[in-house]
């Protein structure tokens, strides 16, 4: 059976850990906790990775040590060494084009200018990977979206952001176990879940 690779997009270091841009990395951290897998530095690749099993399938969890807009080469290099095809890659990432708390699972398509997805598309020479899109919303007024995503979640948003990361982890596991259609049916939503 082909292995899966789940990459949580974000920026390395404590400075960025709680920012909107790093919610994809939160998903990988949640999966590592749930699957009792420890992320470790990988020799010759600028990634931290863990190997886990899900219903007999191998699942690699990856966070890059490079910044978001350079995340493609280390991810593709790690995947290539393990024979993982682009369609078995799942990128978890922040999405300003979805309202805060919304979630969508898809495969392929446009990157909508997301630099992490652009980097992955170039490195894999294909946009054919899966995406778990985690809605962080757009900034109000004239605030620059690039600055907005590098800010921490507001205090009032933190609980919902934690729920969103948990749902992202559930969506990844559903995608691996049951396929894209099942994950889309269960998790695609344009607004936050009622809690």
Catalytic residues: 21
Question: Rounded to whole angstroms, how far apart are CA atoms 183 and 171?
Answer: 6
Q: Angle formed by the axes of helices 180-187 and 158-178, to 10°?
A: 150
Question: Rounded to whole angstroms, how far apart are CA atoms 119 and 67?
Answer: 10
- CA-angle at 29, arms to 27 and 31, nearest 5°: 70
Taking the CA of residue 173 as centre, how many other CA atoms within 13 Å lie in the half-sphere pointing to its CB?
Answer: 18
Strands lying side by side in the sheet with 40-41: 40-41, 47-54, 57-64, 4-8, 89-95, 130-135, 103-107
DSSP-assigned letters across all residues of 90-154 = EEEEEETTS-TT-EEEEESS--TT-HHHHHHHHHHT-S-SEEEEEE----STT--HHHHHTSBPP
Question: Rounded to whole angstroms, how far apart are CA atoms 94 and 46?
Answer: 21
């Amino acid at each position: 059976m082909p292995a899966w690779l789940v990459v949580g997009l974000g920026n390395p270091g404590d400075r960025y850990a709680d920012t909107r841009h790093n919610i994809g990395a939160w998903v990988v951290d949640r999966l590592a906790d749930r699957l009792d897998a420890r992320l470790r530095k990988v020799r010759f690749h600028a990634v931290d990775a863990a190997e886990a099993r899900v219903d007999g399938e191998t699942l690699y969890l990856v966070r890059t040590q490079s910044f978001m807009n350079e995340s493609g080469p280390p991810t593709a290099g790690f995947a290539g060494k393990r024979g993982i095809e682009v369609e078995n890659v799942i990128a978890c990432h922040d999405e300003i084009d979805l309202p805060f708390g919304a979630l969508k699972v898809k495969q392929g398509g446009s990157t909508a200018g997301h630099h992490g997805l652009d980097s992955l598309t170039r490195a894999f020479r294909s946009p054919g990977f899966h995406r778990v899109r985690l809605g962080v919303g757009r900034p109000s007024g004239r605030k620059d979206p690039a600055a907005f995503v590098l800010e921490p979640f507001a205090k009032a948003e933190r609980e919902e952001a934690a729920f969103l990361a948990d749902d992202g982890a559930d969506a990844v596991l559903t995608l691996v176990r049951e396929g894209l259609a099942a994950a889309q049916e269960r998790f695609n939503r344009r607004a936050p879940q009622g809690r």
